[in-house]
Amino acid sequence: MTKILDGRELSLYIKERQARQVRNLKARNIFPKLLIIRDSDNPVITKYVNLKRRYGEDVGIEVVDKKIDKVNDTASLEKAKKTILEANADQTVSGIIVQLPLVEKNLTDDVVNLIDPKKDVDGLNQTTSPANRKFESATATAINWLMAGNGIELNQKKVALVGYGRLVGQPLARIMGKSGVAFEIFRHDSDLSLLKNYDVIITATGVPRLIKSAMVKPGAVVIDAGTASEDGVLVGDVDESVRKRDDLSAITPKIGGVGPMTVTVLFDDVIVAAEK
């Protein structure tokens, strides 16, 4: 029987611990605050901003949602930079994230690379050297926590990482590399029929229903961290035909897998940033 990797259940357990930590911080007059900067009302963005606001309320962390002008020209880029630099200097702000994607994705580096490493709780500043990096990608770390919390061991397993983007693929590769886990990188246009040779498939391409049942062997672990929007509906990388199978070792659900754990990791980082 296929095990469902429920991120919500694990998240609730960690959330209780975080709420206690926040209460202890406030008793010491330390008030954690997360600033979310975004430049659109894309349904995916709105969904995740709202999730973070509710989570912040649950654990006692203030979440500020700051909508800025669409970052699509020099003038708007300068405004975005000014917002981040001001937040870097604001002692009341513990953590800063830019809710991606921006309207113009090619301007992403220009914006997120300005975030102070001490407040970069999403781990997206690419100019930060490994030695000075305070936080790793929240989503990549969430995948790691989800596997560890469910007893999924990667050593001696053939691991496929589908997608090599800045949000998930690249940082997850760093995390696994540091742990000595061997893995192969596939892109959305690779020969994905080869995935049937792998024990663990972790996918984060944002290409809806990319991973088909024929690509997944019996007994495999499948983790879907891909997110796309189709007519306002969130869609993952994994086709539903895969989730209907009962011969897999484990798989994330359509909703409630990596997403809840990503938010949990993010707020763990905010707590750490506030303490420091």
CATH of the domain at 215: 3.40.50.720
Is pLDDT larger for residue 126 or for residue 85?
A: 85
* pLDDT level of residue 50 (50, 70, 90 thresholds): very high
Q: Which of the listed residues 125, 146, 167 is the one where a domain comes to its end?
A: 125
54 and 116 belong to one structural domain: yes
Q: What 3-state class would DSSP assign to 157?
A: coil
Give the pLDDT mean for 157-178: 93
pLDDT value of residue 230: 76
- Whether the CB-CB separation of 83 and 37 falls below 8 Å is answered with yes
> Residue 129 pLDDT more than 80?
no
Is pLDDT larger for residue 37 or for residue 165?
A: 37
116 and 201 belong to one structural domain: no
CATH of the domain at 99: 3.40.50.10860
118 and 143 belong to one structural domain: no
* pLDDT level of residue 121 (50, 70, 90 thresholds): very high
Give the pLDDT mean for 66-92: 95
Can you tell me the distance from the alpha carbon of 212 to that of 153, in angstroms, rounded to the nearest whole number?
A: 24
pLDDT digit string, tens, across residues 190-200? 999 999 999 99
Share of the chain above pLDDT 90, in %: 83
87 and 156 belong to one structural domain: no
118 and 147 belong to one structural domain: no
Domain that holds residue 185: 138-258
pLDDT value of residue 63: 98
Handedness of CA 127, 161, 137, 108 (dihedral sign): positive
56 and 143 belong to one structural domain: no
> Residue 128 pLDDT more than 80?
no
- The token pair at 234 is 């969130």
189 and 162 belong to one structural domain: yes
> Residue 233 pLDDT more than 80?
no
pLDDT value of residue 83: 96
> Residue 131 pLDDT more than 80?
no
- The token pair at 177 is 């590399």
User: What is the number of structural domains in the chain?
Assistant: 2
159 and 245 belong to one structural domain: yes
> Residue 232 pLDDT more than 80?
no
Alpha helices in the chain (DSSP H): 7-27, 43-59, 74-89, 108-112, 138-149, 169-178, 240-243, 258-275
Q: Indicate the angle between helix axes 7-27 and 258-275, nearest 10 degrees.
A: 20
Put simply, whether the predicted model's pTM sits higher than 0.85 gets the answer: yes
